[in-house]
Amino acid sequence: MSELLQIGAQRPKAPRPEELTLRFSDKAVAELEALKTHYPDLKSCILPGLWIAQREYEGWLPPEAIAEVAHRLNRSYAEVEGVATFYTMYNTAHKPGKHMIEICTCLSCQLCGAYRVVDALEEKLGVKLGETTADGMFTIHEVECLDACDRAPVLQIGDEYVGPVTPDTLDAVLDKLRKTDKPSSVQLADSVVKVHLRDGDK
Ligand code: FES
């Protein structure tokens, strides 16, 4: 089978319309309705709609979440899925761990020791980049420049930047996260939704 066909075979199936279970909370429905008034063309509401969904579906976008956004915005599943899978900040491949630690390895961070931090993270957590710890607590990812080069090497965790970090300061970062209740992907999605809403919407 060609590589292209193999990728196609792995693509998650969209739920049938009759299988669709809507999971948005009342708060999420109200937020989406407010956001819809911002855009004459609902196509433009797909991005904020997906952020609401990422919060409502515990930090990621399974096919059911994409289908719910498509349904609520009266767009096709394929169109919404295309947007969701284009942008790396939407988690479509799998549910991340409770805390997603993204480490920048671009030039400034790399020169300031980002790969030493990656090595230390992998050793402390027992996983490689892109993997989730067995207890579901942490997922680690490598990302491009976070536009915080003055804090290199820097991590993004939810809506917070942490840096500069060193292998020696990682334990404190991880300990703090273990005591944090709200999953970082949910926290980030909630913050982005708030940015999209106007004061009058809240
Ligand atoms: S290179 Fe890491 S934040 Fe810019």
Say whether pLDDT at 6 is over 70.
no
Q: Which of 171, 119, 118 lies closest to 142, judged by CA?
A: 118
Torsion of CA 40, 42, 43, 44, to 10 degrees: 60
Nearest ligand 1 atom to the CA of 107 is 1
Q: How far apart are alpha carbons 134 and 177 in whole angstroms?
A: 16
In 10 A of CB 25, how many CB atoms? 11
What's the sign of the alpha-carbon dihedral 47, 67, 182, 38? positive
| CATH 1.10.10.1590 boundaries in the chain | 3-93+188-201
Say whether pLDDT at 115 is over 60.
yes
Nearest ligand 1 atom to the CA of 151 is 3
| Model pLDDT, residue 54 | 97
Question: pTM here?
Answer: 0.87
> Which CATH number describes the domain made up of 3-93+188-201?
1.10.10.1590
Q: Return mean pLDDT, the chain.
A: 92
Structure tokens at 103: 């480490």
Residue-wise pLDDT tens digits, 84-111: 999 989 999 889 999 999 999 999 999 9
Beta strands 138-143 and 155-157, pairing class: unpaired
Cβ burial, residue 110 (10 Å; 0-12/13-18/19+):
middle
Residue-wise pLDDT tens digits, 122-179: 999 999 999 999 999 999 999 999 999 999 999 999 999 999 999 999 999 999 999 9
CA of 142 to the centre of ligand 1 (A): 11
User: Is the omega angle on the peptide bond into residue 17 within 30 degrees of 0, that is, cis?
Assistant: no
For domain 99-182, give its CATH number from 3.10.129.10, 3.40.50.1980, 3.40.50.620, 3.40.30.10.
3.40.30.10
Structure tokens at 165: 């970090």
| CATH 3.40.30.10 boundaries in the chain | 99-182
CA of 83 to the centre of ligand 1 (A): 25
